[in-house]
A and B are shown apart, each in its own frame.
Chain A
Amino acid sequence: GDSVTQMEGPVTLSEEAFLTINCTYTATGYPSLFWYVQYPGEGLQLLLKATKADDKGSNKGFEATYRKETTSFHLEKGSVQVSDSAVYFCALSDALKAAGNKLTFGGGTRVLVKP
């Protein structure tokens, strides 16, 4: 079945450092790919998405490019802030299935940004 693997955390960075969180996937179809973020005490919020190969999703300074050849969707941000401290989840859904299909999540990566 479908699966998502992301780097384990925690990742501890200083403010203004470069952040990369690796995410790779296994899927039988042509998935849509997502990054969700969970701030302390809150639910899952969509950060960005990409629906086909070579698409780049971006939001709040974060970017991720859908790489079909390497089955990857790595998250990057050039200069992190303390407010970026959160848990980041990579996820996929099989876009070829009927609408309303489930999300498959990676294990989450906790990021801590220190001032």
Chain B
Amino acid sequence: EPEVTQTPSHQVTQMGQEVILRCVPISNHLYFYWYRQILGQKVEFLVSFYNNEISEKSEIFDDQFSVERPDGSNFTLKIRSTKLEDSAMYFCASSDGTGVEPQHFGDGTRLSIL
């Protein structure tokens, strides 16, 4: 069964540095998403992406964050000038966009900001 893959599984970064989290969505999917889960808290929506542009973003997704689909397979989340509170598990997801087809999630990247 096709799956969403995320790299790296764990990223440790110094505060103030930039980090790029990578995702390879399922190949025939059209919608891509990033979510995050701070330890012990809810899974929160960050952003959705379709047709090479952001379709929706949450209030968490401020100017510190950006997303990109640099080629036909990768989908990246860039976090600039990282802060301690950016430490979380980041999940990528994709869907075919039928509206009822569920989103398929990757295993997540654990981001630790020191």
> Do these two chains interact?
yes
Chain A residues within 8 Å of B, Cβ to Cβ: 32, 34, 36, 41-46, 49, 51, 89, 91, 95, 98-108
Q: Which of A44, A46, A104 has the most CB of B within 10 A?
A: A44
Known contacts A32-B100, A103-B103: A108-B108 contact under CB 8 Å: no
Known contacts A43-B91, A100-B48, A100-B55: A106-B100 contact under CB 8 Å: no
Which residue of B33, B42, B105 contacts A108 across the interface (Cβ within 8 Å)?
B42
User: A89, B43: Cβ atoms under 8 Å?
Assistant: yes
User: B100, A44: Cβ atoms under 8 Å?
Assistant: no
Starting from the known contacts A42-B107, A95-B100, A100-B50, 6 additional A-B residue pairs (CB-CB under 8 Å) come to A32-B99, A32-B100, A43-B6, A49-B102, A99-B98, A105-B44
Which residue of B30, B45, B107 contacts A103 across the interface (Cβ within 8 Å)?
B45
Which residue of B58, B102, B107 contacts A46 across the interface (Cβ within 8 Å)?
B102
User: A43, B48: Cβ atoms under 8 Å?
Assistant: no
B87 within 8 A of A: no
Interface of A, secondary structure class, is loop
CB distance from B32 to the nearest CB of A (A): 9
In the complex, which residue of chain A has the Cβ closest to the Cβ of B95?
A100
Which residue of B43, B95, B99 contacts A44 across the interface (Cβ within 8 Å)?
B43
Chain B residues within 8 Å of A, Cβ to Cβ: 4, 6, 30-31, 33, 35, 41-45, 48, 50, 55-56, 58, 91, 93, 95, 97-100, 102-108
In the complex, which residue of chain A has the Cβ closest to the Cβ of B44?
A105
Chain A residues whose C-beta falls within 8 Å of the C-beta of B48 in the assembled complex = 100-102
CB distance from B82 to the nearest CB of A (A): 22
* Bound-complex Cα distance A98 to B30 (A): 13
User: B30, A100: Cβ atoms under 8 Å?
Assistant: yes
* Bound-complex Cα distance A106 to B37 (A): 12
* Bound-complex Cα distance A102 to B103 (A): 9
Which residue of B45, B50, B105 contacts A104 across the interface (Cβ within 8 Å)?
B45
Q: Which of A32, A42, A91, A102 has the most CB of B within 10 A?
A: A102
